[in-house]
């Protein structure tokens, strides 16, 4: 086996962990061999294979087929291991529980693995703080690089000491760090030095950026005194498992809708951590969640806001039922372009963004939307999985990320329209707490939405298209008239909104959406006709988003509103909404669906909770961004929608830093469920559902 001395040396994390054994001596060169791995799996075949593979990588391996045993092993040898690899499904203890324990008690990096590659599970891994997730069968290549997690963790430990950042106490920290990293640093090993310096840099000052130099560190140390690390420059925060867990806990505590960086920051109470850090981390998190397609409850409003804004750019979507979704986008906070980007990002690609200022001409857009549909499948893929679960509902529920709207849109598109339940149905479904699956299942699988005007289809009128308003298409024939619903939906029903948008006529209370009154709303009636069909289609495509329950939408409601307005035929809206919601629900969250729908149902006004990541992108489209799209129309509602759309765009977060800021500003507006929609003009009651 491994040479014990080797093991030891590695134990120090490649020489960089000052806390561990002596800093790198000769070990560094051997790194990563000797890495001490604890592997836990109840499957003896897998265990044997893993052991063999790890040994081949020159790691030091300890096998364990019971989680409890693994924990006691770890507890008895606090520093005896460098990394843990654990299976997810184990008889005596859930792998995630083990993961949490290890993270809390020993703070070791944990890699989860499973034959289960469903996004929801992977997402769970992430939210519980796993540093990686391997899908079985595990290959050698995957194992060869696990040492990176050890190094990364060490570094992050240094940078955010005790989770409390205390960045401000730079001088002090630096000293501490220096001492800690002393041996390693002075060791002179490259790895150690690198780690140490970077850690020091980061820890002390967030100045990180380069790991190199000790001297840099020293320099910084000197200056630290007067620096307010957090404000000075973008500090580089390393999100350790603990920190991330705190973050997740805070987000959960706040609730998806309310999770804004400021509050998260407060809850986390980590000195030295800035709002920007949290914000950018939140972005990533949302994107991740979206990507996973899981229901991310955590997604806060931000997502929503993003989404809304972004919808606008979804040209195709914008045509949602003839609304000027695009207008929405335009009006929305997000500039069409950004929306487009966001959408694209959110969608993962389909770049719906095509036209930033897409005119409402839904007809045209719709076409594009359809094209999106095909492209969107991407999202749908993720979403598709969810589809089975609660297609639409999910969307709304889970996908907090901004992408939701878009995704929804995408999803919807992808999802065969058949699923489009009428918004009302969806809403009803949501209300009932069932997943939107609607009779037709909005999201059924990602089938591209080619449905055309007939999208109205299956949407069950009773179902409220969760989609937030995409109403339109699907099913709700009557709902389409709902126009107002779409609008109204927004504010009132987040969840239902999606459905409501379009036509929730029936159940959607939203029907009373003031939409018609919406000033900008050019009355769907007008729009509808030609658009409606398209819209519907669009919706349907968007429905991919599945979960009409847009909690997300609620935020995004704006989107819906706009949309709903657009379609004169409620149906359109419905379909749209459904599509959106569907998309979302399906994509995002199968799990969320339940939650979302319920939520959505309950509170249309809610800011969409978690717009399924997948959905989001679509959403945008559909909505045209609730925010951006309907520029003309409901500015207000749009705005809200825009937010959600913006949120959808979260995914893209790379660009989103800016968006983030923009959206964050809006956040105030956003996602709150009823309040968000600022539909002044509309009175939800009016909408005859």
Q: Which of residues 81-100 bind another protein (CB under 8 A)?
A: 87, 89
Q: Which of 1, 4, 5, 44 binds another protein (CB under 8 A)?
A: 44
Minimum CB separation of residue 18 from another protein in Å reads 36
Residue selected from 116, 190, 219, 680 as contacting another protein according to rule CB under 8 A: 116
Work out how close the CB of 448 gets to another protein at its nearest, in angstroms, rounded to a whole number. 23
- With CB under 8 A as the contact rule, the residue among 68, 69, 115, 262 that binds another protein is 115
Phi-psi region of 625 (alpha: psi -120 to 50; beta: other; left: phi over 0): left
Stretch that binds another protein, among 39-47, 194-202, 240-248, 644-652 (CB under 8 A): 39-47
**CB nearer another protein, residue 141 or residue 226:** 141
The least distance separating another protein from the CB of residue 393, rounded to whole angstroms, comes to 18
Cis status of the peptide bond prior to 32, with omega within 30 of 0: yes
Q: Tokens in use for 564?
A: 């709903």
CB of 50 to another protein, least distance (A): 9
Pick the stretch among 96-104, 111-119, 375-383, 458-466 that binds another protein (CB under 8 A): 111-119
Beta bridge partners of 113: 87, 134
Cα-Cα-Cα-Cα dihedral sign, residues 634, 636, 640, 643: positive
Q: Which of 19, 25, 49, 234 is the binder for another protein (CB under 8 A)?
A: 49
Judged by CB, which is closer to another protein: 52, or 78?
52
CA torsion, ordered 421, 422, 428, 434, to nearest 10 deg: 10
Q: Which two tokens stand for residue 543?
A: 């429905």
Partners of 134 in beta bridges:
113
Alpha helices in 417-522 (DSSP H): 423-432, 484-492, 494-503
48 near another protein (CB under 8 A): yes
Enclosing H/E stretch for 471: strand 471-472
126 three-class SS:
helix
From 37-45, 177-185, 453-461, 674-682, give the range in contact with another protein by CB under 8 A: 37-45
Q: Tokens 């100045």 map to which residue?
A: 207
Choosing from 45, 76, 215, 226, the residue that interacts with another protein (CB under 8 A) is 45
Nearer to another protein, 136 or 420 (CB): 136
Sheet containing 60-64: give its strands across. 60-64, 36-40, 83-87, 110-114, 132-135
Q: Nearest approach, Cβ of 426 to another protein (angstroms)?
A: 23
End-to-end C-alpha distance for the chain, whole angstroms: 72
Q: Torsion over CA of 94, 99, 102 and 104, rounded to 10 degrees?
A: -110
* Beta carbon of residue 388, minimum distance to another protein (angstroms, whole number): 8
Kindly state whether residue 1 participates in binding another protein, applying the rule CB under 8 A.
no
Q: Which residues contact 106 (CB under 8 A, 6 or more apart)?
A: 74, 75, 78, 81
Nearest distance, CB of residue 44 and another protein, angstroms = 5
Window contacting another protein (CB under 8 A); options: 113-121, 276-284, 666-674, 681-689? 113-121
Q: By CB neighbour count within 10 A (0-12 exposed, 13-18 middle, 19+ buried), where does 275 fall?
A: middle
For residue 293, give the 3-state DSSP assignment: coil
Length of the chain: 689
Nearest distance, CB of residue 46 and another protein, angstroms: 5
Binding residues for another protein, how many (CB under 8 A)?
20
The SS3 call for residue 235 is: coil
**Does residue 4 interact with another protein by CB under 8 A?**
no
Quick one: tokens of 109?
Answer: 């990096």
Residues in Cβ contact with 216 at an 8 Å cutoff, skipping those fewer than 6 apart: 197, 201, 207, 210
Q: Which of 37, 39, 46, 647 binds another protein (CB under 8 A)?
A: 46
User: What is the spatial distance between Cα 524 and Cα 279, in angstroms, rounded to a whole number?
Assistant: 37
Binding to another protein (CB under 8 A) within 54-83 occurs at 56
How far is residue 366's CA from residue 621's CA, in Å, rounded to a whole number?
Answer: 10
Binds another protein (CB under 8 A): choice among 25, 29, 42, 94 = 42
User: Least distance to another protein from the beta carbon of 291, Å?
Assistant: 24
Nearer to another protein, 116 or 685 (CB): 116
Q: Which stretch binds another protein (CB under 8 A): 52-60, 422-430, 570-578, 641-649?
A: 52-60
Q: Which is nearer to another protein, 63 or 258 (CB)?
A: 63
Q: Smallest distance from the beta carbon of 582 to another protein, in angstroms?
A: 21
What would the x/- binding string for another protein be over residues 119 to 148, using CB under 8 A? Answer: -----------------xxxxx--------
- Phi first, then psi: give them for residue 132, nearest 5 degrees: -165, 165
Which residues sit at the interface with another protein, rule CB under 8 A? 42-46, 48-49, 52-53, 56, 87, 89, 114-116, 136-140
């Amino acid at each position: 086996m491994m040479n014990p001395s080797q093991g030891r040396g590695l134990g120090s994390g490649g020489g960089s962990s000052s806390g561990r054994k002596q800093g790198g001596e000769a070990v560094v060169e051997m790194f990563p061999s000797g890495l001490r791995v604890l592997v836990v799996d109840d499957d003896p075949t897998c265990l044997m294979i893993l052991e063999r593979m790890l040994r081949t990588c020159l790691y030091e391996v300890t096998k364990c087929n019971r989680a409890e045993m693994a924990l006691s092993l770890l507890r008895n040898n606090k520093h005896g291991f460098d990394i843990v690899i654990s299976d997810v499904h184990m008889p005596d203890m859930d792998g995630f529980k083990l993961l949490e324990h290890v993270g809390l008690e020993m703070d070791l990096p944990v890699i989860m693995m499973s034959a289960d590659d469903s996004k929801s599970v992977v997402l769970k891994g992430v939210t519980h703080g796993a540093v990686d997730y391997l899908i079985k069968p595990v290959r050698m290549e995957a194992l060869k690089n696990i040492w990176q997690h050890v190094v990364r963790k060490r570094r992050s430990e240094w940078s955010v000491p005790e989770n409390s950042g205390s960045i401000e106490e730079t001088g002090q920290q630096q000293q501490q760090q220096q001492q800690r990293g002393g041996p390693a640093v002075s060791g002179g090993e490259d790895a150690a030095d690198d780690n140490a310096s970077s850690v020091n840099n980061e820890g002390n000052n967030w100045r990180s950026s380069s790991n190199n130099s000790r001297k840099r560190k020293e320099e910084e140390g000197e200056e630290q005194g007067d620096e307010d690390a957090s404000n000075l420059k973008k500090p580089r925060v390393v999100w350790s498992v603990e920190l991330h867990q705190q973050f997740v806990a805070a987000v959960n505590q706040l609730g998806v809708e309310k999770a804004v960086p400021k509050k998260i920051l407060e809850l986390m109470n980590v000195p030295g951590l800035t709002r920007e850090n949290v914000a950018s981390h939140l972005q990533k998190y949302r994107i991740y969640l979206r990507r996973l397609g899981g229901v991310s409850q955590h997604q806060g409003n931000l997502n929503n806001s993003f989404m809304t804004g972004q919808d606008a750019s979804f040209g195709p979507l914008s045509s949602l039922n003839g609304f000027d979704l695009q207008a929405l986008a335009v009006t929305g906070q997000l500039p069409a372009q950004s929306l487009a980007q966001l959408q694209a990002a959110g969608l993962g690609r389909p770049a719906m963004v095509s036209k930033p200022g897409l005119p409402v001409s839904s007809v045209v857009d719709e076409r594009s939307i359809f094209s999106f549909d095909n492209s969107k499948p991407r999202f749908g893929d993720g979403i598709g999985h969810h589809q089975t679960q609660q297609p639409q509902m999910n969307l709304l529920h889970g996908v907090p990320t901004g992408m939701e709207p878009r995704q929804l849109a995408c999803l919807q598109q992808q999802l065969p329209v058949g699923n489009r339940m009428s918004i009302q149905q969806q809403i009803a479904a949501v209300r009932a707490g069932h997943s939107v699956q609607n009779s037709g299942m909005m999201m059924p699988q990602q089938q591209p939405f080619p449905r055309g005007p007939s999208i109205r289809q299956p949407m069950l009128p009773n179902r409220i298209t969760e989609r937030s308003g995409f109403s339109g298409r699907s099913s709700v024939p009557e709902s389409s008239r709902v126009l107002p619903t779409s609008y109204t939906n927004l504010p009132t029903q987040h969840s239902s909104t999606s459905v409501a948008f379009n036509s929730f006529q029936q159940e959607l209370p939203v029907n009373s959406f003031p939409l018609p009154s919406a000033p900008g709303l050019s009355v769907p009636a007008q729009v509808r006709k030609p658009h409606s069909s398209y819209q519907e289609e669009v919706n349907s495509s968007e429905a991919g988003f599945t979960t009409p329950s847009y909690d997300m939408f609620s935020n995004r409601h704006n989107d819906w509103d706009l949309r709903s307005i657009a379609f004169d035929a409620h149906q359109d809206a419905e379909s749209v909404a459904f599509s959106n919601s569907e998309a979302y629900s399906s994509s995002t969250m199968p799990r969320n669906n339940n939650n979302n729908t319920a939520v959505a149902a309950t509170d249309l006004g809610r800011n969409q909770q978690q717009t399924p990541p997948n959905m989001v992108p679509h959403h945008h489209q559909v909505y045209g961004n609730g925010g951006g799209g309907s520029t003309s129309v409901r500015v207000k509602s749009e705005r809200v929608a825009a937010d959600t759309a913006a949120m959808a765009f979260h995914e893209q977060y790379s660009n989103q830093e800016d968006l983030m800021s923009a959206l964050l500003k809006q956040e105030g507006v956003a996602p709150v469920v009823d309040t968000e929609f600022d539909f002044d003009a509309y009175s939800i009651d009016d909408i005859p559902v």
